[in-house]
Amino acid sequence: MDIQWPLLVFGVLAGLSMGCLGFVCAFILAGKAESLRMPGVVIALAAIAAGGLASAFHLGNPDRILYILGNLQSGITQELLATAVAGVLIVALCIALVKKASPAVLKTLAVLGLIAAIALPFITGEAYVQGARPAWNTLFLPIMYVGAAFAMGALTMTVLSRIKHVDDADRTLIGRASFVAAIICTVTVVLYVSAVALAPYPDPSRSIDRLLSGDLALLFWGAAVALGLIVPLALTAMQAFGKQPQAKGGTAVLSRPSVLFVGLVCLVAGSVAIRSIMYLLGSSVQSFIY
182, with CB counted inside 10 A (0-12, 13-18, 19+), is buried
CB of 262 to another protein, least distance (A): 34
CB of 64 to another protein, least distance (A): 5
Beta-carbon-side half-sphere exposure of residue 12 (alpha carbons within 13 Å): 20
- Residue 25: how many other CB atoms lie within 10 Å: 27
End-to-end CA distance of the chain: 9
* Between 63 and 104, CB nearer to another protein: 63
Rounded to whole angstroms, the Cα distance separating 20 from 156 reads 7
CB of 260 to another protein, least distance (A): 36
* Between 1 and 230, CB nearer to another protein: 1
Rounded to whole angstroms, the Cα distance separating 95 from 103 reads 14
CB of 191 to another protein, least distance (A): 22
Q: CB-based contacts of 238: which residues, under 8 Å, 6+ apart?
A: 251, 254, 255
CB of 193 to another protein, least distance (A): 20
Rounded to whole angstroms, the Cα distance separating 110 from 29 reads 7
* Between 137 and 271, CB nearer to another protein: 137
* Between 81 and 253, CB nearer to another protein: 81
* Between 129 and 252, CB nearer to another protein: 129
Rounded to whole angstroms, the Cα distance separating 123 from 126 reads 5
CB of 126 to another protein, least distance (A): 12
CB of 175 to another protein, least distance (A): 39
108, with CB counted inside 10 A (0-12, 13-18, 19+), is middle
* Between 64 and 165, CB nearer to another protein: 64
200 DSSP assignment: S
* Between 73 and 246, CB nearer to another protein: 73
Nearest to 177 by CA among 239, 107, 87, 244: 239
CB of 145 to another protein, least distance (A): 16
Rounded to whole angstroms, the Cα distance separating 290 from 269 reads 29
* Between 82 and 110, CB nearer to another protein: 82
Please report, as ranges, the residues that interact with another protein according to CB under 8 A: 1, 4, 58-62, 64-65, 67-71, 73-77, 80, 127-128, 130-133, 201, 282, 284-290
Alpha helices in 61-102 (DSSP H): 75-98
